[in-house]
């Protein structure tokens, strides 16, 4: 069995084609395989009656996730390169159907699930959103300091927010530092990983949606620098968020024979 180690703007995943047997214990595999490369998550491709294929996504601790933005971009590259889907494809996720597009050999774009919940003031000025239904939960916080330079000092504050009762499902916590109009630095503390990750696609999309609704993103396009790479998010809609497009780099780094 081949397992592919993939990277999407710093988010890394162990990926396998499981269409021949979706009864495997994916939770156990996630824990075991992620340890091989200290990966953030595990993804398995399954069969689907409503899309080109199904995405089974698990965090490195074995918990199942509704969806993963950078994971979805990686799985689109995987499906294209393995002949499972063409340059345009649809992915069935627990949060809903996600369309994907191949831009070039390494650049892929996906349409994230629209917000099922959007609360700009869930806890004071901390916003809360869930992308999809059931949705991927995110807390979004504007930060005025040196975000990456302060990362070590912020870890416990972000960990506390991840478990805060204001977020009943637990939340991925995203701090963003504006750099210029339409450009930010972002730092995400992810549930299931229980630490910082180098990038978070749904977190970046949630941040862009919150910024636009707050009037901080008039051009509707956000360039988000994570510590693992740069992502581009485009918001669609006039008075509410009608689409969130996420674009960035993907690659297959290594193949493991298990």
- Give pLDDT tens digits along the chain (258 positions): 899 999 999 999 999 999 999 999 999 999 999 999 999 999 999 999 999 999 999 999 999 998 899 999 999 999 999 999 999 999 999 989 999 999 999 999 999 999 999 999 999 999 999 998 888 899 999 999 999 999 999 999 999 999 999 999 999 999 999 999 999 999 999 999 999 999 999 999 999 999 999 999 999 999 999 999 999 999 999 999 999 999 999 999 999 998
Question: Does the annotation mark 34 as catalytic?
Answer: no
Q: How far apart are CA 210 and CA 92, in angstroms?
A: 25
Q: Which CATH class is domain 2-111+249-257?
A: alpha beta
**Phi and psi (nearest 5°) for 68?**
-145, 125
Among 34, 68, 74, 76, the one annotated catalytic: 68
Among 34, 74, 76, 200, the one annotated catalytic: 200
Question: Does the annotation mark 74 as catalytic?
Answer: no
Q: How far apart are CA 10 and CA 25, in angstroms?
A: 26
Domain residues of the chain, as ranges? 2-111+249-257, 115-247
How high is the pLDDT of residue 258?
A: 85
Q: How far apart are CA 46 and CA 105, in angstroms?
A: 23
Are 16 and 255 spatial neighbours (Cβ–Cβ below 8 Å)? no
Same fold, 2-111+249-257 and 115-247: yes
Q: What fold, for 115-247?
A: Diaminopimelate Epimerase; Chain A, domain 1 (3.10.310)
Q: How far apart are CA 142 and CA 42, in angstroms?
A: 30
């Amino acid at each position: 069995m081949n397992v592919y180690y993939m990277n999407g703007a710093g988010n890394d995943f162990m990926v396998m084609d499981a269409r021949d047997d979706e009864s495997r214990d994916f939770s156990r595999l996630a824990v075991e395989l992620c340890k091989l490369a200290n990966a953030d998550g595990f993804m398995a491709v399954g069969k689907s009656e409503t899309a080109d294929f199904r995405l089974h996504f698990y965090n490195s601790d074995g918990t199942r996730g509704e969806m993963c933005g950078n994971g979805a971009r990686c799985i689109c590259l995987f499906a294209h390169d393995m002949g499972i889907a063409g340059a345009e494809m649809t992915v069935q996720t627990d949060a809903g159907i996600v369309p994907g597009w191949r831009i070039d050999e390494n650049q892929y774009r996906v349409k994230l699930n629209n917000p099922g919940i959007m609360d700009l003031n869930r806890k004071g000025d901390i916003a809360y959103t869930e992308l999809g239904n059931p949705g991927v939960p995110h807390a979004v916080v504007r930060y005025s300091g040196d975000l990456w330079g302060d990362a070590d000092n912020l870890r416990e504050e972000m960990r506390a927010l991840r478990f805060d009762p204001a977020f009943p499902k637990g939340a991925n916590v995203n701090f963003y530092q504006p750099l210029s109009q339409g450009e930010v630095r972002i730092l995400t503390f992810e549930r299931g990983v229980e630490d910082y990750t180098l990038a978070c696609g749904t977190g970046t999309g949630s941040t862009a949606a919150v910024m636009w609704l707050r009037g901080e993103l008039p051009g509707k396009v956000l360039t988000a620098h994570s510590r693992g790479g740069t992502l581009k998010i485009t918001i669609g809609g006039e008075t509410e968020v009608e689409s969130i497009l996420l674009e960035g780099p993907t690659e297959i780094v290594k193949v493991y024979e298990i």
